[in-house]
Amino acid sequence: MGTVKARVSSILPRASIVESPTLKLPNPAKLRIVLYPDPVLKKVAGEVREFSRDIHALSTRMFELMRADKGIGLAAPQVGLSLRLFVCNPTGEPGDDLVCVNPRLLELSGAEEKEEGCLSIPGATVTMRRATHVVMEACDVDGRSFQRIGTDLQARIWQHEMDHLDGRLIIDNMSPADEIVNRRAIKQLKEQFQPVRSTR
């Protein structure tokens, strides 16, 4: 997720989750942020079934890529891996790094509209209505389950990244005004896109 500048559509039903095959990750150093319209961004990600050093290495690399692009959240599909995992940090402080594996949003309440960007759709911003209070359950990199409450920016990040895990993008929710504003950026991304073989 890119930085939020400041519509929850009715909460969508959870997408059908698929189990990931045996985990075989590429060299983390070779991972890069994939850009729209890469097909991996529209897939429903599979659940992580194995917790190993690969998950540690993957999350570390994702934080590196997120910070390099000045983002506050990044989902595994955004680095070409169709796995239910995301990393985030709303403050930029190292102590606030959070890795969420197989996350589920249990409760959502409140609502606020703000513009959101996305590291996989550079140059595009969309006004999104999100819940302001979220209860999330997930696992850490070692497979330990935890539950957290997020509000405001934290809650928005979690919802944005969960959309990525379910194959949804901010541009899927564009208003007519958003379509006009983002037309050029989206056109450029489509023209510059070069398909590569998926890493998953």
The tens digit of pLDDT for each residue in 144-173 reads 999 999 999 999 999 999 999 999 999 999
Residue with tokens 């359950």: 137
Rounded Cα distance between 31 and 54, Å, is: 13
pLDDT of residue 197: 53
pLDDT in tens, 10-52: 233 344 444 444 557 889 999 999 999 999 999 999 999 999 9
pLDDT of residue 2: 73
Q: Pairing relation of β-strands 46-47 and 18-19? A: parallel
pLDDT of residue 194: 84
Query: Is the separation of the CB atoms in 119 and 1 below 8 Å?
Result: yes
pLDDT in tens, 99-141: 999 999 999 999 999 999 999 999 999 999 999 999 999 999 9
pLDDT of residue 155: 98
pLDDT of residue 4: 54
18-192 CATH choice from 1.10.760.10, 3.90.45.10, 3.40.1010.10, 3.40.50.300: 3.90.45.10
Q: 38-48 burial by CB neighbour count: b if 16+ within 10 A, else e? A: bebbebbbbeb
pLDDT of residue 200: 44
pLDDT of residue 87: 98
Which DSSP symbol is given to 174? -
Q: Among 131, 99, 98, which Cα is nearest to 113's? A: 131
Active-site residues, by number, are 161
pLDDT of residue 1: 79
Segments in the chain forming alpha helices (H): 53-68, 152-165, 176-192
pLDDT in tens, 57-86: 999 999 999 999 999 999 999 999 999 999
Rounded Cα distance between 59 and 64, Å, is: 9
pLDDT of residue 82: 97
What is the token pair recorded at 65?
């890529």
Q: Is the confidence at residue 94, as pLDDT, over 50?
A: yes
